[in-house]
Structure 1
Amino acid sequence: MKLKFIFALLLTSAASLLIGCSSVDINDYRGSEPNLNLKTFFDGKLKVYGMVQDFSGKVTRRFTADIDASWDGETGTLDELFYFDDGEQQTRIWTLNHLGNGEYNGTAGDVVGVAKGKTVGSVFRWQYELTIPYDGDTLNVKLDDWLYLITEDRLINRTSINKFGLEVGEITLIIEKL
């Protein structure tokens, strides 16, 4: 299993070298619509449909989740309950703080330190380190979330999972307001 993981890292780093160093900047979405207001979108009940892919693009897990979201002034709570296709259930409770100018930070029980993010136009970029179960132990990975508001009640989220600076997986999900 460890040899497989090392091979995946080497393959991913080789691919990264071929792709180059270009990356999208959140400010590229200035003026894009519909405008994403986290306090409006993440308010009330939401349903999530998603999948996890490994470094090769193979789907390794599917899941749904229920989110109960609310705000008290500039502080939001996202109570998330995940249902994985293998029967596992996970809970994550986020506490979000709106800092002004589209900037947010947040904490959750399995997040290392403080997550940081920013909204621009129809997009929210959210970055943090997460502790995940791995091979009978835990592993810290860095997540780079890009949330794209498609309609007023639908959002698509693409998350890059990184370890040692290399992408080792991806999460894709759709969030719908109920």
Structure 2
Amino acid sequence: MKNKLNKCLLMLITVGLISSCSTNLDDYQQTHKPFDIKNYFDGQVIAWGMVQDYSNKVSRRFCVEIEGTWQGDQGVLAEKFYFNDGEISYRNWQLSKQADGSYQGTAEDVVGIAIGKHQGFAFQFQYQLSLEVDDETYQVSMDDWMYQLDEYRVMNKTSMSKFGINVADITLFFDKQTPIQTCPSVDKNN
């Protein structure tokens, strides 16, 4: 597994050096009603997503239930993930809105502090994630982009990279329109 991972990383480094592009948060400055995650992630939200590996093959699908609670500028996003292979996992974001409107966050599997900024209808969240794969733990960089479509729906595209090379993409669709749906699960009490 380790040799296969090393070969894949080498190939990704080569591809990454040949083609690289990015977007800038300022590209989304002009918006009638700016997107603020504090307002959107207040209460219950459900999302559906998928993980695509470096070759764009869908490797996992999932549903996540999110409960956001805020006291002033301090918030908690309690996330419960239901993966298509039966795995259930949790992440609890501790978020803090800063005086300049940006956000800082921590979570159990986040290394250091996540930094989030919004402009117009877009929100960018960057952080280092500790990821366990086949009993090995890797630290990967996450570049998370959320785009508010309307008051109920947000699209999310996250690039996961190692050594500056994209190794996976995660796509999510958030919905908070009532009535809130739930993720399918055999036992909802877990």
Percent identity reads: 43
Which residue matches 2:8?
Answer: 8
Equivalent pair of 1:34/1:150 in contact (CA under 8 Å)? no
Which residue matches 1:155?
Answer: 154
Which residue matches 1:101?
Answer: 100
For residues 41-66 of structure 1, the C-alpha deviation after alignment (integer angstroms, 9 at most, x for no partner) is: 00110001000111110000000010
For residues 82-124 of structure 1, the C-alpha deviation after alignment (integer angstroms, 9 at most, x for no partner) is: 0001111111000110003331000111111110010100000
- Please say which of residues 100-109 and 53-62 is displaced more in the overlay: 100-109
Q: Following the alignment from structure 2 to structure 1, what is the Cα–Cα distance between the partners of residues 96 and 76? A: 9
Q: Following the alignment from structure 2 to structure 1, what is the Cα–Cα distance between the partners of residues 72 and 162? A: 35
In the TM superposition, residue 174 of structure 1 has moved relative to its aligned partner by: 0.6
- What is the TM-score when the length of structure 1 is the normalising length? 0.94
In the TM superposition, residue 171 of structure 1 has moved relative to its aligned partner by: 0.5
Tell me the C-alpha RMSD between the 2 structures.
1.2
Which residue matches 1:18?
Answer: 18
Q: Following the alignment from structure 2 to structure 1, what is the Cα–Cα distance between the partners of residues 31 and 4? A: 41
Q: Structure 1: where are the runs of 5+ without partners?
A: none
Counterparts in 2 of 1:70-149, with a 5 A limit?
70-149=69-148
Q: Following the alignment from structure 2 to structure 1, what is the Cα–Cα distance between the partners of residues 32 and 64? A: 26
- Secondary structure of the corresponding residue to residue 101 of structure 1: coil
- Please say which of residues 129-138 and 114-123 is displaced more in the overlay: 129-138
Is the aligned partner of 1:59 residue 2:32?
no
- What is the TM-score when the length of structure 2 is the normalising length? 0.89
Q: Following the alignment from structure 1 to structure 2, what is the Cα–Cα distance between the partners of residues 23 and 159? A: 12
In the TM superposition, residue 34 of structure 1 has moved relative to its aligned partner by: 4.5
For residues 121-172 of structure 1, the C-alpha deviation after alignment (integer angstroms, 9 at most, x for no partner) is: 0000000011111111221111010011111110011110111111111110
Q: Following the alignment from structure 1 to structure 2, what is the Cα–Cα distance between the partners of residues 120 and 8? A: 35
